[in-house]
Amino acid sequence: MADFPVSNQASLHEPLDRTCKGAVEPSCSSDPGKDSSCTSAFAFTILAGNCGAAIYHSRRDPWSVAFVLAAFLVLLLLFYALRVFESLPHGSPRRVYVKAAVWVLTTVLTTMFSYRVATLMPFPVAVIVWALAGCTIVAGFCLFFVCRDEVEPAAEENPVEVSDMA
């Protein structure tokens, strides 16, 4: 096994500086700290296109069209609620209400899709679908409201230095 030279000046966890002087920032950045409006617009376009295609293919079945429209609206509300939740400060009391809205919306989507799938399955498989949906809903509630947010920010961790590993 060959030995590779390792620099003692930087750790493995330090970000690399790859900026060029005079470089222009792209208008659509995937940096989580910046506005990702282009990514959101792209995702919305894909979602709307898929919903439009589903409505077109089921245009003779009003219940299917209603299901697609309802799922589309609930998804839009869910994405909006998630965006609001992420924009709120960590200690804000409003976060609990927005978190509850996120849980309710995910519960509605889980129930809608489970109903749709369970109607197509034989009874034993439908029971499994509903049981898994129930487990998902209860687990989501527990993770959102029962478990505490004890995750420490990554910046407070002590990264292992390259020189310490040798």
Q: What is the CA radius of gyration of the chain?
A: 23
pTM equals: 0.66
Q: Has residue 68 got a pLDDT over 80?
A: yes
- pLDDT tens digit sequence for 19-64: 444 444 445 544 554 557 788 888 889 999 999 999 999 999 999 9
* DSSP per-residue letters across the chain: -PPPP--SSS-TTSPP----TTPPPPSS---TTS--HHHHHHHHHHHHHHHHHHHHHTTT-HHHHHHHHHHHHHHHHHHHHHHHHHHS-TT-THHHHHHHHHHHHHHHHHHHHHHHHHTTS-HHHHHHHHHHHHHHHHHHHIIIIIS---PPPGGGS-PPPHHHH-
Residues comprising the chain, all counted = 166
CA angle, residues 41, 44, 48, in degrees to nearest 5? 140
How many angstroms separate the Cα of 21 from the Cα of each of 25, 28, 39?
11, 19, 26
Q: Give the pLDDT band of residue 151 (cuts 50, 70, 90).
A: low
pLDDT at 147: 83
d(CA 26, CA 7): 32
Residue 85 near residue 98 (C-beta atoms within 8 A): yes
